[in-house]
Structure 1
Amino acid sequence: MTGRLVRNTMASATAGLSVMLGGFLSTVLVARMLGVEAAGIVAFATWVVTVSIVVADLGTPGTLSRYLPELLARGDQAEAAGVTRHLFRWPGIIVSLLFLGFGAYAIVIAASGGTAESGSSHIRTDSLFWILVGLACVFQTAANYVNGYLRGSQGFGRMARLAVLSAVLQVVATALGGWLFGANGALAGAIAVGFLPSLLLPGILSRRGSLSPELRRRVDRFTFETWLGYVGTAFAWSRMEIFFLERSWGTESVALFSVSLTLANLATQGPLLLTGGLLPYLSEQSGVNAGEKIRDAYAIGTRLIAFLVLPACFGAAAIAPVLVPAIYGGAFAGAVPSAVLLVAGAGFSAASSVGVTYLLAMERTRFVFLTGGVSAILVLLVGFTVVPTFGLLGAAVARVSIQTAVVLARVWYIHRSLKTPTPYSSLARILLAATACALAAWSCTRLLDGVAALAVAIPVGALVYGVAVRIVHALPRSDYERLNKALVVLPSAIRVPAVTILRLLCP
């Protein structure tokens, strides 16, 4: 992998880490300041915004990340600008219609005499809630498009700076809004997080260019098929269970499920951020027909992401009974069983994330659409049957089962249709080491109580994982060398201990 890929990956990781921490701190603030019920209201709003964005952006940020690197690598600036302007038309129209729809619903509520109440009644009777949700959709859709453009044009440094500032703005807006105006005020954070990137959109769209009919067909087909896959996948990955939980069990159940998913995201997003520069790199290589490099990148990326994400997820699941109350408070202890399941299961889906990037780079969007569609059908069936009967735990079990099935189908397809083997042997050794990490951390929580258990369990789990990795030879030496080179871009205060750890891990 090139030095530019490493730099882009680190910048993308910085951007993603900022977004993740901003969202995480915002949920903690809401939970601590406003309680379980208000946290459920904000979580429901976040889910509505997330699903609305999936519908509105039509998968165009992913298309920009796929095609701009290929065009710019050929020096075709005019067609790159043409693709950028062409892709924005429908997202702009759809998000405008969504905002008008939320506004119309708010007017209907106001005309019927609706007032702000608590819990689920708040969601159905407060017109201001839906106006704020609509504004969040507009700003976040625009921000997603800008971020897709920056990824595709290799502007990762600029994207990282914007993400850091946006995360700070989100936390401040959530805290001030929640303190002054309660659950509705906390939604200011969902609006603020998309504000700064949105300011770049007019300048990006002002650049004129050309677009050949052949490229237009490729771009439109990729966008449409990818979007259909994203829509289906959104049901399985984007908290669709929240809708059914709110209808059957109320906003408190929504809050507990959201906390469980937030912990799962916290455990997985750090390693996943390292894949941010991978799609532009693979797309660029596909444009110059570098097939062997693409296959190598898939195998290397899969091993390294699993190396980082599996111990993080298994370890977090092991300490979840102590971690959840410590972060969110004792009122959220009911989220522990679902958190254990969701965090552990997220490790497998996150470890396969490189496979999705590989499929998109190879333009195998129809398979993404197929698996997304099947996932959507399964989630709907579960939502109408399992969730109303078994509630929070049923939703967690079903989610993990569906996502695991998708992962297995993805690995099978890549191996059979793309003739690209998955590094099964390394993954099995990493899984064994991650299991040892989880057992060690869990043992500490059984021997100690409270925060002291966390203070001991985390370093003990990490130490056991390191020893197990060295004993079972989890990674080939070449992967350690790649990690060592990647660490060059880090500050010395972080790089020196990280390099030392790598030397200890490598047999």
Structure 2
Amino acid sequence: MAKRSIRGCGARFARRRSRGPTVFQNDRPAFLHDEMSRTRAGRLEMSLDKFTRNTIFGLVASLNSSLGSFLGLVIVGRMLGPTGAGTVAIGIWLTGMAVTFADLGLPLTIARFTPELMAQGEMAYAEEIGPYFFRPILFSTTIVVGLFGELALGGAQWFRENLRLNVLSESPDSIWLVIAFIFAVQALNNFGLSVLRGRQSFDVAAKLTAISLPLQLVATGAGCFYAGAEGALVGYAMGSIACAGLALQYARRTTGLPENLRQRAWRFAVNNWGVGLISVIVWSRLEIGFLDYWRGAKEAGLFAVSYTLCNLAAQAPLLMTGGLLPLFAERHALRDRRGLCDAYASAIRFVALLLFPACFGMAAIAPLFLPVLFGAEFAEASASATVLIAMQAFGSISTVSSTLLLACEKSSFLVRTGLIGVVVSLLAGVTAIPAFGVMGAVATRSAVQSFLTLASFIYVAKALNLPFPLSKFARIVVAAIGCAVFARVIVLEWQAPAALALAIGSGAVVYGSLILMLNVLEPNELQLSRMLAGKVLFKAALRKAS
């Protein structure tokens, strides 16, 4: 009986072999492989849909913040002139440096690890990570507020007399109390926004920043009128007050995190903190401090408005990258290398598609746009603004590679290369900037940022095996140059404010035509563009209507 059974099994196996082998793919049956492929495709579609939603709301939130800063400086420039604008710009720069020093790299750590924990189903730890890191932030913030208070109570005078440091010397020492207030609000604001971004609650962030925008503009105007630069700085802080209040809810006791997670998070935070401190020197407005020291508040103000136009051009494209860190972190946590590679290449193309025409176009119209916006007193900053804005495009595209390195926990490379940028920037601050003023600051800044951008993309291509989409990128740059040339011709031929609208509109048409002719976008990216423009916005409108 057993023999017949064995022979029967052998006969059935022989008949199966005669019909041909069973199709296997990756050691799995074909039907199972197809089912898993459909599952992965469905997850990727859900991830992209979430990414597009986050991108839209993240863009709205960041645009509200950036628009408040930009329009606030316009108000200050109109009401207080170059010197007043320089004082306000220096105060904001000092605040930004202090916030970066005091945050210990923790806000971005929360934004990095929360989506990973959520993707892995660790919802309890995702809820605890915010309160766990709030106490270190509160402690460091208190220390820095105390240091600013010491400067207001005689410390600034001591520095002027003994070390000949004349930062904000044209203002009363009470301005350091104002800076302490702005710093505390901004530090809490950054923490609250990072928690929201980590939990991918970009819609909440958009609502809070929308509430803060009109409050900031009204407070800035009133502050300029009643209290000059000090009042303008207080008004600037009002743009962060809503999210700062949100952060206070995390001042509660926490049950803690697992040891391995704490070690990973702190290691990431330390590396990210180093990157942040380097970025303050290389990527933010360090040149304002050197210009104020060597050349006075007026030249600092001229550079500040050039930098503001630069930010105006670059911010909208860069703000769309707010959803990249959660997306990259999620793909990395799930070990989806193909998805990570596709997301990286698409992100570069999308950011470049918006960034380069914005920067090149703004550079083309800057000689006319700058005095129209800020006043005739700022016309001499036109040349520096043109160069600074055009070169900003090549520096800002590195946001994609930096975000990827942070998501893959490879931020140590950014620290190493950033140190080179720090050394060069500091050397420029005591050589080129004293000698050449604003143009010296623009030239050295552009050179340092271009070097760091090139280094980061080469490292990603070599070490992580994620190639840079050079062909499509070059076509985008060519189209943006065509847009800028056309706009510049219009501005030079017709030097009147009405020419700005014609130059912008015509440049946009030229750019769009060249993009279509050069076949820049992939079919799936065109579909994603339609999703961004239609589906998500339509859903947002329905939510708002309901």
1:309 partnered with 2:351: no
1:405 partnered with 2:451: yes
Can you list the C-alpha shifts for 1:414-436, whole angstroms capped at 9, x where unaligned? Answer: 00000000100000000110000
- Shift in Å at residue 55 of structure 1? 0.4
- Shift in Å at residue 483 of structure 1? 0.5
| Matching residue of 2:12 | none
Runs (5+) with no aligned partner, structure 2: 1-46, 161-165, 542-546
Indicate the SS of the match to 2:431: helix
| Matching residue of 2:245 | 199
| Matching residue of 2:426 | 380
Indicate the SS of the match to 1:187: helix
Can you list the C-alpha shifts for 1:110-162, whole angstroms capped at 9, x where unaligned? Answer: 988x9xxxxx7853651221000011000100000010000001111111111
1:355 partnered with 2:355: no
Change (3 A) 1:467 1:494: farther
1:107 partnered with 2:149: no
Provide the rounded CA distance (Å) in 2 between the counterparts of 1:70 and 1:16.
Answer: 23
Can you list the C-alpha shifts for 1:65-90, whole angstroms capped at 9, x where unaligned? Answer: 11011112223233224322332233
Provide the rounded CA distance (Å) in 2 between the counterparts of 1:66 and 1:122.
Answer: 36
1:3 partnered with 2:49: yes
Give the one of 300, 303, 320 matched to 2:366: 320
| Matching residue of 1:504 | none
- Shift in Å at residue 208 of structure 1? 2.7
Give the one of 391, 413, 423 matched to 1:367: 413
TM-score by length of 1: 0.93
Would the aligned equivalents of 1:58 and 1:223 in 2 still touch at CA under 8 Å?
yes
Q: Which amino acid aligns with 2:208?
A: L
Change (3 A) 1:49 1:121: closer
Provide the rounded CA distance (Å) in 1 between the counterparts of 2:157 and 2:419.
Answer: 38
Q: Which amino acid aligns with 1:165?
A: I
Change (3 A) 1:121 1:197: closer
Give the one of 505, 508, 512 matched to 1:462: 508
Give the one of 122, 127, 130 matched to 1:76: 122
Can you list the C-alpha shifts for 1:320-379, whole angstroms capped at 9, x where unaligned? Answer: 100100100110011111111111011112223111111111110101111222211111
Would the aligned equivalents of 1:102 and 1:134 in 2 still touch at CA under 8 Å?
yes
- Shift in Å at residue 11 of structure 1? 0.5
Indicate the SS of the match to 1:154: coil
Provide the rounded CA distance (Å) in 1 between the counterparts of 2:352 and 2:226.
Answer: 43
Q: Which structure: larger Rg?
A: 2
| Matching residue of 2:136 | 90
Give the one of 239, 243, 265 matched to 2:285: 239
- Shift in Å at residue 198 of structure 1? 1.5
Q: Which amino acid aligns with 2:367?
A: P
Would the aligned equivalents of 1:233 and 1:373 in 2 still touch at CA under 8 Å?
no
Give the one of 387, 392, 398 matched to 1:346: 392
Indicate the SS of the match to 2:521: coil
Give the one of 424, 440, 443 matched to 2:489: 443
Can you list the C-alpha shifts for 1:18-62, whole angstroms capped at 9, x where unaligned? Answer: 001100110000000111111111011011001111101122111
Would the aligned equivalents of 2:135 and 2:251 in 1 still touch at CA under 8 Å?
no
- Shift in Å at residue 492 of structure 1? 6.3
Indicate the SS of the match to 2:285: coil
Would the aligned equivalents of 1:249 and 1:391 in 2 still touch at CA under 8 Å?
yes
Change (3 A) 1:110 1:475: closer
| Matching residue of 2:175 | 129
Change (3 A) 1:333 1:124: closer
| Matching residue of 1:179 | 225
Can you list the C-alpha shifts for 1:296-323, whole angstroms capped at 9, x where unaligned? Answer: 1000000011011101100110111001
| Matching residue of 1:500 | none
Q: Which amino acid aligns with 2:392?
A: A
Cα RMSD of the aligned pairs, angstroms, is: 1.9
Runs (5+) with no aligned partner, structure 1: 115-119, 496-507
Give the one of 23, 28, 34 matched to 2:74: 28
| Matching residue of 1:430 | 476
TM-score by length of 2: 0.87
Provide the rounded CA distance (Å) in 1 between the counterparts of 2:443 and 2:157.
Answer: 41
Q: Which amino acid aligns with 2:394?
A: F
Would the aligned equivalents of 2:72 and 2:236 in 1 still touch at CA under 8 Å?
no
- Shift in Å at residue 489 of structure 1? 3.9
Would the aligned equivalents of 2:84 and 2:229 in 1 still touch at CA under 8 Å?
yes
| Matching residue of 1:214 | 260
- Shift in Å at residue 92 of structure 1? 1.6
Provide the rounded CA distance (Å) in 1 between the counterparts of 2:418 and 2:134.
Answer: 23
Provide the rounded CA distance (Å) in 2 between the counterparts of 1:326 and 1:98.
Answer: 39
Would the aligned equivalents of 1:267 and 1:309 in 2 still touch at CA under 8 Å?
yes
Can you list the C-alpha shifts for 1:241-290, whole angstroms capped at 9, x where unaligned? Answer: 11110010000011110101110110011111111011012112222211
Provide the rounded CA distance (Å) in 1 between the counterparts of 2:97 and 2:295.
Answer: 21
Q: Which amino acid aligns with 1:320?
A: A
Q: Which amino acid aligns with 2:278?
A: G
| Matching residue of 1:59 | 105
Identity, in percent, stands at: 36
Provide the rounded CA distance (Å) in 1 between the counterparts of 2:57 and 2:102.
Answer: 27
- Shift in Å at residue 207 of structure 1? 6.2
Provide the rounded CA distance (Å) in 2 between the counterparts of 1:284 and 1:325.
Answer: 45
Q: Which amino acid aligns with 1:74?
A: Q
| Matching residue of 2:530 | 484
Would the aligned equivalents of 1:7 and 1:489 in 2 still touch at CA under 8 Å?
no
- Shift in Å at residue 171 of structure 1? 0.9
- Segment of structure 1 superposing worse, 337-346 or 477-486: 477-486
- Segment of structure 1 superposing worse, 212-221 or 103-112: 103-112
Provide the rounded CA distance (Å) in 2 between the counterparts of 1:55 and 1:110.
Answer: 19
Provide the rounded CA distance (Å) in 1 between the counterparts of 2:171 and 2:215.
Answer: 29
**Equivalent runs, 1:285-300 vs 2, <5 Å:** 285-300=331-346
Provide the rounded CA distance (Å) in 1 between the counterparts of 2:537 and 2:118.
Answer: 30
